[in-house]
Amino acid sequence: MRACIRTFLVAWTVVASWMMSGAGLAAENRPNILWIVIEDMSPHFACYGETAIETPHLDRLAGEGLLFRNAFTTGPVCSASRSALITGMYQTSIGAHHHRSGRGTEKIRLPEGIRIVPELFQQAGYYTCNGSWPGGRGAIGKTDYNFEWNTKCYDAADWSHRKEGQPFFAQIQLEGGKLRERANWKETVERELESPTDPQRAELPPYLPSDPVILEDWAAYLDAVRYTDLQVGQILARLTDEGILDQTVIFCFTDHGISHVRAKPFCYDAGLRVPLIVRGMGVDGGEERKDLVEHIDVAASSLGRAGIPVPPSMQGRDLFADPFVSRKYAHAARDRCDETVDHIRSVRTGQFKYIRNFEPERPYLQPNTYKDNKPIVQTMRRLHAAGQLDAYQALIMAESRPPEELYDLEADPHELNNLATNRAYLAKMIEFRGELATWISTTMDAGRVPESPFLYESDMKVYIDGIARRDPERAREIEKNIALMRARRR
């Protein structure tokens, strides 16, 4: 993999280095590129079919731009997803697939020659920034990369201080679904949104019970969507006020799906499917695309919009390239999350999803302090213990997993009826097994090798030390879970 990357990069440097200075497009024609990156949120926007709430600003963005119906993250948890996004490469190809890894004494470094997107923009003469909203706070926004990187690749948190006429590459990080975890969330909703969403309006997926705790949480999540919509409207207003809206290509998307018991960080669509809307120069308004898109394609597409050559090593595809070759398959991977060791891969087409559980003896809801302290998970455990979950709701509570799962997404969009052992789908199983094996091999999936115990212990020390300072009891829970993971490793 590294040798191939070096060969590609030498050829790319010789042929295209002249373009990296910004010569690919005349300075006055280079658009600004803006990523609106939303945390922990699935496509619960009105423009994607959500009926319980209204999202007028996101709907406007979609109406003036291009909406992708079938966009998927390659990693259903923050740091793995963001490591992939910022490189345009599968997190498994760059060794960044374990959540919050490389944080201790054991570091992760990108393969030789791999450069992150803001560095490429910066070299091309762009002003690079990454902040939260509202802008102007001064602090760099969320990165969460699992590898060592040059912090100088971001000039600032905001584009306000760029040189006159200088285009910018900016990211605005929005809290999205995490908003509902704020202690003052109810007060914020009443102040900013006038009234909260009625829990009875929540349309739960069939694998969730209509328990008051679940309903109230879902309503709070929908309010987070509404608040996010309000923020997107404020961002559009700022661009309009500054007279640069039409000189800016906006990519609006989320890092992964909703944080819930069968969503983040699993490879079901609730964890993988994300909204993706693109508006701006060279993008026709009011259009939709239904082809399979991976969120790493945002990196290549952003470079393409700016006239910056896409490195041959980048696995993302420029969605606006001419000619464009659409994907037949979308791939995703879930590995360790915090202290909890796991190993899942998935492949999907437009109709079918295949999931390979490499640790089938483990329960879906392995001990994990982050999730186990959520009221929604505690409620599911309580209802399961009381025998109050139906067969679909109890799926996630199983003490072990099938090695393989196969779902017909057209007939079964919530992935409830596993067809993997149905002989009528044997040909489909053979196809997906072959495709997954090919993808693992050709992309050099680092998950083929178990995580180094040195890396695990290094990361866990940082994790525990950080928690212990503010919540000693929770730190002790994590230590118990780590001991269990060590025993399972043996």
Catalytic residue status for 78: yes
pLDDT band at 157 (very low <50, low <70, confident <90, very high): very high
Of 2, 92, 84, 5, the C-alpha closest to 449 is 92
| Tokens 């800016």, residue located | 248
**Given a cut of 80, is residue 5 above it in pLDDT?**
no
**Given a cut of 60, is residue 12 above it in pLDDT?**
no
**Given a cut of 80, is residue 34 above it in pLDDT?**
yes
**Given a cut of 90, is residue 307 above it in pLDDT?**
yes
**Mean of the pLDDT values across residues 389-417?**
98
Please give the radius of gyration of the chain, using alpha carbons only, rounded to the nearest integer. 22
pLDDT band at 23 (very low <50, low <70, confident <90, very high): very low
**Mean of the pLDDT values across residues 415-422?**
98
pLDDT band at 55 (very low <50, low <70, confident <90, very high): very high
| Residue 462 confidence (pLDDT) | 97
Least confident of 12-26, 308-322, 342-356, 424-438: 12-26
Q: What CATH number belongs to 2-330?
A: 3.40.720.10
**Mean of the pLDDT values across residues 178-200?**
96
Can you list the positions of beta strands (E) in 296-436?
A: 330-334, 344-348, 352-357, 404-408
> For residue 218, what are the contacts with CB-CB under 8 A and spacing of at least 6?
199, 202, 204, 208
Question: Residue 229 is inside which H or E element, if any?
Answer: helix 212-241
**Given a cut of 70, is residue 312 above it in pLDDT?**
yes
CA torsion, ordered 288, 310, 253, 171, to nearest 10 deg: -140
**Given a cut of 80, is residue 10 above it in pLDDT?**
no
What are the helix (H) ranges across 17-157?
A: 56-63, 78-87, 117-123
**pLDDT tens readout for residues 254-306:** 999 999 999 999 999 999 999 999 999 989 999 999 999 999 999 999 999 99
> For residue 97, what are the contacts with CB-CB under 8 A and spacing of at least 6?
75, 80, 91, 146, 333, 335, 446, 447
Domain spans, the chain = 2-330, 334-489
Chain-wide mean pLDDT for the chain? 94
**Given a cut of 60, is residue 98 above it in pLDDT?**
yes
Here the tokens at position 203 are 């349309």
pLDDT band at 19 (very low <50, low <70, confident <90, very high): very low
| Residue 3 confidence (pLDDT) | 47
Q: In percent, how much of the chain has pLDDT > 90?
A: 92
pLDDT band at 135 (very low <50, low <70, confident <90, very high): confident
Name residue 117's amino acid. V
The rounded distance, in Å, linking the Cα atoms of 43 and 48 is 6
Can you list the positions of beta strands (E) in 106-247?
A: 127-132, 168-174
Q: What is the full DSSP assignment across 237-303?
A: HHHHHTT-GGGEEEEEEESSS--STTBTBSSSHHHHEEEEEEESTT--TTEEE-SBEETTHHHHHHH
Least confident of 14-18, 92-96, 377-381, 428-432: 14-18
| Residue 27 confidence (pLDDT) | 59
**Given a cut of 50, is residue 374 above it in pLDDT?**
yes
**Mean of the pLDDT values across residues 334-352?**
98
Q: In percent, how much of the chain has pLDDT > 70?
A: 94
pLDDT band at 489 (very low <50, low <70, confident <90, very high): confident
Long-range contacts of 161-168 (CB under 8 A, 24+ apart): 162/127, 163/127, 165/27, 165/28, 166/125, 166/126, 166/127, 167/27, 167/30, 167/31, 167/32, 167/33, 167/125, 167/126, 167/127, 167/247, 167/306, 168/32, 168/33, 168/34, 168/126, 168/127, 168/128, 168/129
**Given a cut of 90, is residue 465 above it in pLDDT?**
yes
Is the alpha carbon torsion for 125, 130, 136, 140 positive or negative?
negative
CA torsion, ordered 33, 148, 114, 162, to nearest 10 deg: 30
**Mean of the pLDDT values across residues 342-347?**
98
pLDDT band at 490 (very low <50, low <70, confident <90, very high): low
In this prediction the pTM is 0.94
Q: How many CA atoms lie within 13 A of 476 on its CB side?
A: 3
The rounded distance, in Å, linking the Cα atoms of 120 and 241 is 28
pLDDT band at 138 (very low <50, low <70, confident <90, very high): confident
pLDDT band at 92 (very low <50, low <70, confident <90, very high): very high
**pLDDT tens readout for residues 213-246:** 999 999 999 999 999 999 999 999 999 999 999 9
Marked catalytic residue, from 78, 129, 153, 252: 78
Name residue 30's amino acid. R
CA torsion, ordered 143, 145, 147, 152, to nearest 10 deg: -20
List phi, psi (to 5°) of 465.
-60, -40
Here the tokens at position 226 are 């509404």
**Mean of the pLDDT values across residues 457-476?**
96
**Mean of the pLDDT values across residues 464-474?**
96
